[in-house]
Structure 1
Amino acid sequence: MDFTVVWTAAPLIAKGIGMTVLLMACVGTLAPLLALPLALAREFGPAWAGRAVSAFTWAMRAVPTLVLLFFAYFGLPALGIYLSPTLSALGALIVSAMGYNVEFLTSGLRAVPAAQIETCRALGMGQGKMIRRIVLPQALPVAVPPLFSNLTLNLKGTSLAGLVAVPELTSIISGLISETYRPIELLLVAGAIYLCLNSVLIWLQARVEERLDVRWRAARAERRAAA
């Protein structure tokens, strides 16, 4: 095997890594942030909001991400909405991830004992304060592991963006293979890069879980002291 082609194409590969990391960071940040209000509306909002959110999650989990991507890139222009390839890919990846993130966050919210929620309401605590101080500190530690697991899938899903001319890592590697006819070396490098990126996510997940656990224990101790 000859890895000379990898060193020669290092700047181009670095560009692909940068785009992949950008897509992953945007999806990993925006999808949970946008999913949280939907999960809260599903659990604490009116009945019609819960039904609407359930319909959204059902649709997003049923429709392949690739279909959403093609709709954003090819379908929206037919409706007079024009997005760049990067925005089309981001929109599709975020909306697809939201369908799963809402379910993970809902599971976390439902893990909070109903007796605690009823007690807060009986004491006259506002719903916003109850969610901030009682519900979320207990729900997030439950939801974080599946959210991060889904993010690792989203990282691999960024490779779909290359189908609409986004210069992410897989797209760059594919182009280099066509030019150099060195598939083994380039694919080994691509696999190693994805492995490193996923390892960073796993490390970050452990740190976030540890911090949330510490905060949850502190909040529980505070409530016990107050009682």
Structure 2
Amino acid sequence: LLTSLIFAIPLAIARTTSIAILRSIAIAYSWFFRAIPSLTILFFMYYGLPALGIYLDAWTSAILGLSLTAAAYMTEIIRAGIRSVPAGQYESARALGMPFWLSMRRIILPQTMRIIIPPMASEFTAVLKGSALASLVAVAELTGQASALISLTYQPIPILASVALAYLALNSVIVGGQAFLERRYRLG
């Protein structure tokens, strides 16, 4: 989730810039990674890159593949939030002589946060649930481990119930974080 945010914020800013080449790169990135299924990206990272001489372990492949895909969706969420800030805010920053990056950091992005918190929390939840795909590229993640345990013990109900509770707990952290941030940014 953090890696995808690191990619998404500059891409979203590039998506809204007047510099055509940056905007074009951000649009192409967003289009490409939203158009291809996460599983295909994961398979390419783990099985395809070695054919090109690039070897990544399973964890790195999974983190990079899921991050690249999630970043494309988060880019569009952040871009929509940036676009929703009234034009007068940009003009005021320019009138005060603020450089672009300073106005983004101090004026535009804080206002964007109020708008993007709910869809970002939804994307975080989707990424968390999508991490189950990592078991298909040899990552020992929660769902993959549950499947292995079921085949050993023939006890699907308690194992799957435990997995469901683990996902509920992890998603509860995301929902709690969303509620905290909404309260924080509502207060101004």
TM-score for both structures, normalised by structure 1: 0.79
Q: SS at the partner of 2:82?
A: helix
Q: SS at the partner of 1:125?
A: coil
For 2:149, the equivalent position in structure 1 comes to 176
Check if 1:196 corresponds to 2:169: yes
Aligned mates of 2:51, 2:116 — CA distance in 1: 38
Check if 1:125 corresponds to 2:89: no
Q: SS at the partner of 1:172?
A: helix
- Cα distance, 1:210 vs. partner? 1.5
Aligned mates of 2:136, 2:84 — CA distance in 1: 39
Greater radius of gyration (CA): 1
Aligned mates of 2:155, 2:5 — CA distance in 1: 39
- Cα distance, 1:107 vs. partner? 0.8
- Amino acid in structure 2 at the alignment position of 1:94: S
- Cα distance, 1:45 vs. partner? 4.5
For 2:118, the equivalent position in structure 1 comes to 145
Check if 1:81 corresponds to 2:54: yes
Which structure has more RCO (C-alpha within 8 Å, separation ≥ 6)?
A: 1
For 1:36, the equivalent position in structure 2 comes to 9
Where do 5+ consecutive residues of structure 2 fail to align? none
- Cα distance, 1:60 vs. partner? 1.0
Q: SS at the partner of 2:56?
A: coil
Aligned mates of 1:124, 1:193 — CA distance in 2: 50
Aligned mates of 1:95, 1:45 — CA distance in 2: 24
- Percent of aligned pairs with the same amino acid: 45
Q: SS at the partner of 1:83?
A: coil
Aligned mates of 1:176, 1:111 — CA distance in 2: 48
Number of residue pairs aligned between Structure 1 and Structure 2: 188
- Cα distance, 1:147 vs. partner? 1.0
For 1:156, the equivalent position in structure 2 comes to 129
Q: Which moved more, 1:73-82 or 1:36-45?
A: 36-45
- Amino acid in structure 1 at the alignment position of 2:46: Y
Check if 1:106 corresponds to 2:106: no
Give the RMSD, CA atoms, in angstroms.
1.2
TM-score for both structures, normalised by structure 2: 0.95
For 2:24, the equivalent position in structure 1 comes to 51
Check if 1:206 corresponds to 2:179: yes
